[in-house]
Every structure is written in structure tokens, then in C-alpha cells.
Amino acid sequence: MLRNYREVLALGGVRVLLLAAAVSIAGDSAAMVALLLRVHDAGAGPWAVSALLLAFGLPVVLLMGPAGTLADRPDPRRLLAATASVQALAALGLALVDGLVATFVLVLVLQTAFALGSPAWTALVPRLVPDGSAGRVVALQQALRGVAAPLGAGVGGLLVQWHGPATALLLDALTFVLLAGGAALVPRPRPLPATDDAQVPVRGLLPRAGIRALRADPALGVLVLALLPMVVTIESVNVVEVFLVRDVLGAGAAQFGAAEAVHGVAAVLGAVAAGAASTRRARIRVVLWAIGLVGLGQVAQGLAPSYPVYLAGSVGVGLMLGAVNALVFGLLLDELEPGRHGAVVALVSGLSRAAGALALGLGGAVGSLAGARTAYVVAGVAGLVVALAATLAVHRSVDGASTARASRGTPGPSTLEA
């Protein structure tokens, strides 16, 4: 496994992508902490925090279509530099203003640029590495994100405490300047094969090229569909997590923070370990098992009689989530038709954001009506059902594809694809 990582790290373009992603994530985390604290200190109440989170997520959902089309351009490097530059200007503006309305407007500008540029960064990966190697780069990206996000959040909190929110936001602006510079250092990507998508105008919310790509590979389409309810089950318990740990299990503030840290470290390890699954069949099977184990881990957390048992569940859930994230995006980049990667990434990212927004409402409702333990158990059972349904659907799609090949007299793979 280490040898495989060394092979992709030897490529200059990969190193630039990984460093740019890590720096950007750290800056974004620092900015998020600064903005949340700014809104809190303004005394506007929970509605203002909700509005801020909505401003962060809405552009990613609404711009899936154009973002996917832009990401699959022959050479997206100018787009990457332009969107990073807009993000730098928006972050600079956030550092210079402190009114709530101006903050929300500038966050919308910031996230609009993010929504249009982020899929292009991901879609660039398979065009810079040998065929079949994109999954390893994605695993490294996920691992670096897991390290950079809490590090950036911690730095952001310290900067706000010592110097105020503006300093953390200036740091975010600097990271976007570095991101724009990274776009200029990325080598020219391999040419894309000709597709008919370039002639299709962008209409509606969803990127149609991404939908067509997933329909052409039913097994991966099932995994993407399974990913969405998994996002709901995971993010729904975020609303009640603090109540379970502090009020039900009686843990202290430091123990709550430790559980968050342990979960994050486990996710990093899970993403790195995911690189060991190198074949399509192995990756899909690991994803299906991991989704089920996430559900099982949530049930264990909800029923945990003590904090150490809850902590063990956090380790397991973190490991499985890290593996799922790395493997699903690795499969999408390695297995789907080139020229549609950006559309698929934009589609998955936008739908995941929408699922996350739904999760906040569901988690709050279940937690308020039935308590934190019940919310965890309900989420975990739902995750197990999703894993079972996805497994059956994947095998059905493979069996259907084999039948279709046989009816056409076309030889198929000698082993089960999933």
C-alpha cells in the first residue's frame, strides 16, 4: 500500500493538489469558527446561525448543473485560479466588515465561487495520474482534510480570542491566494475524450451529464444513492451528540472534545487504509460493509452504558466513514467515463449538502421528541437498512448487466463486479 502511495506522490501535480486542498481546508475551518463566533457575539440568536449555515450550503446545491459543466472543460486551470481569486476577495471583504447582512452576502459570494471551483479540483485528479490511481489520491486528500480541518478550527479559535475574527478571516484570504497560485502550478491535464455533453446546454438544477454517467454504471449509481441517506443518518445525530455525551453519559467538556478528536483521527486512518482496496470489486464490497458497520456503531453509541463504550463506537464510526468517503469518490473517478467526472462530483456534492440540511431538521425533531439515545438508535437502524438495501440493489444491477451481456452474446468479466 505504501508503495502505491509513493507512486502517486512522486507526481508534481498530485503534490500541488494535496497541498492546495490541505491549506484551503485549514483556512475554511478557521473562517467558519470566526464567522460563527461573530454571529454569536452579535446577539442575533439561533436564526442568524441557521442563516449563516444556509448561506454556506445553498450555492453548492443550486449550482450543481453549471459547476459540473465547468469542471469538465478541457483545461479548467483558469477556472480554478478565477474562483480562488474571488474567494480571496470575499474572505478579505469578510475581514473588513462586521454587519450581519454584509456577512451573509459575502458568504454567498464566497460559497458561489467554491461551488463552481471545487468539482473542478476533484475532476482534475484522474487527468494527472495513471489510470486507476485516482482513488489513492482521493484517500490522501480525505486524510489531509481530516487533519487540516480540526487544525484550522483550533487556530481560528485562538486567533479570534487573541486578535478578533478579522485576523482569522485574513488567514482564510491568504489560503485562497495560495490556492490560486497552486492552480497556476498544476501541469496541463491530459486531454478529455470527445463526448456529446459539450453540446448539451445547462438546464435545471441537476447536472444531466452526471446523471447519465451514473445510469451507465448502475452499481456506482446505487452507492451514490446509498450515500445520501447515510449522510442523513450521520449528520442527524450531530444535533443531539452533545446531549448524549454530556447529559446522558455524564461526560465532561474535555471528554466531549476528546470524543470529537478520536472520531476525526479514526476517519483519517480509515481514509488511508482505504487505499489498500485497489480493485472495483473490493472497493464496492468494503463500501457496503462500511455503511452497515456505521449503522451498527451508531446503535452501539446510542445504547452505550458508559462513556468508554461510546468512545469505542466513535472510533468504529470514524474508521468506516473515512473509508466510505475515500472509496466512493475514488470509484467515481477511476471507474466512470472521463469527461463526466466534474458533473458527477458536482451532483454528489450538491445532493450531499441537501441531505445534510434535511438531517439537521430530522435529528432535532427525533432528539426533542424521543431523546438523544433514541435518535442514535433510529439513525443506526436506518443505516443498517440502507446497507442491506444497497447490497441487494448492487447485486441485482450486476445480475441484470450480466443477463444483458449474455443476451447480446458479449463476454463479461469472469468475476462478480461488485
Q: What is the pLDDT along the chain (418 residues), one digit of tens a residue?
A: 556 677 777 777 888 888 888 888 888 888 888 888 888 777 766 677 778 878 888 898 888 888 888 888 888 889 999 999 999 999 999 999 888 889 999 999 999 999 898 888 888 888 887 777 777 787 788 888 878 888 888 888 888 888 888 898 999 999 999 999 988 888 888 776 655 554 455 555 677 788 888 888 888 989 989 988 888 888 888 778 878 888 889 888 778 778 877 888 898 899 888 878 878 899 999 999 999 999 999 999 999 999 999 999 999 999 999 999 889 888 888 888 777 787 888 888 888 888 887 876 777 677 777 888 988 999 999 999 999 999 999 888 765 554 444 444 444 433 333 3
Residue 185: how many other CB atoms lie within 10 Å? 14
Q: How far is CA 210 from CA 216, 284, 346, in A?
A: 10, 19, 8
Burial status of residue 39 (CB atoms within 10 A of its CB: 0-12, 13-18, 19 or more): buried
**Distance (Å, whole) CA 34 – CA 40:** 10
Burial status of residue 157 (CB atoms within 10 A of its CB: 0-12, 13-18, 19 or more): middle
**Distance (Å, whole) CA 263 – CA 265:** 6
Identify whether the C-beta of residue 72 lies closer than 8 Å to the C-beta of residue 192: yes
Residue 395: how many other CB atoms lie within 10 Å? 16
Phi, psi of 332 (to 5 degrees): -60, -40
**In the chain, how many H helices and how many E strands?**
16, 0
Q: State the Cα torsion 117-62-38-175 to the nearest 10°.
A: 0
| Residue 402 confidence (pLDDT) | 47
Identify whether the C-beta of residue 156 lies closer than 8 Å to the C-beta of residue 29: yes
| Residue 296 confidence (pLDDT) | 95
**Distance (Å, whole) CA 111 – CA 117:** 10
Identify whether the C-beta of residue 95 lies closer than 8 Å to the C-beta of residue 169: yes
- DSSP H or E segment with residue 132: none
Identify whether the C-beta of residue 116 lies closer than 8 Å to the C-beta of residue 65: no
**Distance (Å, whole) CA 103 – CA 95:** 9
DSSP state of 246: I
Q: Which residues of 107-117 are buried (b: 16+ CB within 10 A; e: fewer)?
A: bbbbbbbbbbb
Assigned C-alpha cell, 164: 478578533
CA-nearest of 390, 282, 332 to 273 is 282
Identify whether the C-beta of residue 126 lies closer than 8 Å to the C-beta of residue 2: no
Identify whether the C-beta of residue 344 lies closer than 8 Å to the C-beta of residue 332: yes
pTM to 2 decimal places:
0.76
| Residue 4 confidence (pLDDT) | 63
**Distance (Å, whole) CA 309 – CA 307:** 5
| Residue 292 confidence (pLDDT) | 94
**Distance (Å, whole) CA 145 – CA 267:** 10
| Residue 417 confidence (pLDDT) | 37
| Residue 145 confidence (pLDDT) | 82
**Distance (Å, whole) CA 414 – CA 418:** 12
